[in-house]
Amino acid sequence: MRKEMKPGVWLIVLPTTQFKTTRINVQFLAPLQRATVTKRTLLTSLLETNSAVYPTQAALSAHLESLYGANFSIGVAREGKLHRIGVTMSTVDDRFTDAPLLPQAAAFLRTILFEPNMQAGRFDEATFAREKENLDHYLASLDDDRQTQAALGVQQLYFGADQDQAIPSFGTREDLASLTASSLAAYYQEMMQHDQVVITVLGDVDPKQVAALFADWPLDARSQTVPAVAFDLPTHPDVLTQTTKVKAQQAKFDLAYHVETDLMGPKYAATLVAEELFGGSSLSLLFTNVREKASLAYYASSMFDAFRGLMLVQTGIEGKDRQQVADLIRDQLAAVVNGDFSDALLKAVKDGILDHQRAAYDSPRFLTNQALYQLLVPDAPQNFDEFAQRIKAVDRQAVQQAAADMKLQATYFLTGEDSE
């Protein structure tokens, strides 16, 4: 069942006896903007650790424990031009408890979301200061993670002046510094009034009873519609390059490619197969030829972001091997473009994609995310069989064309004296 309870407020109910848990997922969706990304991340920390009803993390944890050890979390994510806050709670299915937990879980989430720990129009100062410091420490720690640093560096180079896309989905220390308990409280009110809301409930539930649980949540109609999700950056003829020197024994060499694809449409399946064949799996040409045969990389793989038309290649190498690795990466993509791969390898890659997707359908998290994507992306497959048909229909020529549409746009080299 999927219905719009009010303009901009959706309820999706997925009845199933497949799992022994009931999962509630509440998504707050807004256009991706640098001005709000860090606010939204800090807000998740405040809402996740306390509320007016549960003013300490200990009190909140104790209540979750009383609900048979229910799991509860809040996080942020980026999907193309969309930024989302996801609130998730999982409880033991009511079939296995003495008293129904779903109503209690819905009531708990209501207090968390609509009764934050605020006084006089601002978040509790002590709690705000603690969570702001925690987030600052986390953001600072990313500078010590060289793999993350390189991945963020190449994306910042690739997206350039588009700061909405260039910054991490969880924000920056620079933007965090200026936030106050009052300014964040004001943004909280703005978010609750304007964000699109999607509530998804999965488990052995009755849709009418679920609808009744959320009917009186204080969510007014929203004038803002769900934004277009797909983001596409125009290509440029030159490859942007950047070298950063740090203290490191192992160099990182990351590459960003523009990918011509549609969002879950016919091109998507071909692009997914091409990317997996190139570098997205242990069967890939990157893994086999750069890491295994040539032994020039500690790791070498690619990942495909369909929402942003982006493919990233990440490698850990010796600094002195940079050019040789760059040449080998180029050659592996050229091999896919030219069809220099066996039918057996193509079939194995497609089978691997299907095996991974089949396993995903055994995950409540995947199923609730899938329901969200089906709302946001009209072409999203409705079930595994539909997804499988699209993958099986991809032929050699479609793979070659998809690979030909992958254009190198940026390279980022993170190195140190010890790695050269």
Find tokens 């709000």 and name the residue: 36
Identify the band that residue 419 occupies on the pLDDT scale cut at 50, 70 and 90.
very low
Identify the band that residue 418 occupies on the pLDDT scale cut at 50, 70 and 90.
low
Which tens digit of pLDDT belongs to each residue from 251-270? 999 999 999 988 888 899 99
Which tens digit of pLDDT belongs to each residue from 85-140? 999 999 999 889 888 999 999 999 999 999 999 999 999 999 999 999 999 999 99
Q: Comparing C-alpha atoms, which of 299, 283, 250 is closest to residue 353? A: 283
Give the per-residue pLDDT at 263.
Answer: 85
Name the superfamily (CATH) of residues 240-419. Metalloenzyme, LuxS/M16 peptidase-like (3.30.830.10)
From residue 249, how far is each of 150, 252, 316, 417, 418 by CA, in Å? 14, 10, 10, 8, 5
Q: Comparing C-alpha atoms, which of 188, 231, 293, 209 is closest to residue 11? A: 209
Burial label, 2 (beta-carbon count in 10 A; 0-12, 13-18, 19+): middle
For residue 278, what is the DSSP state?
A: I
R_g of the chain, CA atoms, integer Å: 23
Whether 301 contacts 280, CB under 8 Å: yes
- Structure tokens given for 378: 């009209």
Query: Residue 42 pLDDT > 60, yes or no?
Result: yes
Percent of the chain topping pLDDT 70: 98
Q: What CA–CA distance (Å, rounded) separates 350 from 54?
A: 49
Average pLDDT over residues 401-413: 97
Find tokens 């991945």 and name the residue: 151
Give the per-residue pLDDT at 340.
Answer: 97
Average pLDDT over residues 20-49: 97
Query: Residue 224 pLDDT > 80, yes or no?
Result: no
Give the distance between the most distant pair of CA atoms in the chain.
68
What are the backbone angles phi and psi of residue 376, rounded to the nearest 5°? -85, -30
Query: Residue 23 pLDDT > 70, yes or no?
Result: yes
- Tell me the domain boundaries of the chain: 2-214, 240-419
What are the backbone angles phi and psi of residue 319, rounded to the nearest 5°? -55, -35
Give the per-residue pLDDT at 238.
Answer: 93
**Residue-wise DSSP of 172-196:** -HHHHHT--HHHHHHHHHHHHHHSE
Identify the band that residue 226 occupies on the pLDDT scale cut at 50, 70 and 90.
low
Which tens digit of pLDDT belongs to each residue from 311-345? 999 999 999 999 999 999 999 999 999 999 999 99
Identify the band that residue 417 occupies on the pLDDT scale cut at 50, 70 and 90.
low
Q: Comparing C-alpha atoms, which of 266, 398, 399, 279 is closest to residue 336? A: 399
Is the fold of 2-214 the same as that of 240-419?
yes
Give the per-residue pLDDT at 292.
Answer: 86
Classify 36 in phi/psi space as left (phi over 0), alpha (psi -120 to 50) or beta: alpha
Q: Is the dihedral of CA 202, 2, 387, 269 positive or negative?
A: negative
**E strand or H helix at 111:** helix 102-114
Query: Residue 349 pLDDT > 60, yes or no?
Result: yes
Average pLDDT over residues 78-90: 96
Q: In what order do the strands lie in the sheet with 310-317?
A: 240-245, 406-415, 251-259, 310-317, 299-305
Which class is 2-214 in CATH?
Answer: alpha beta
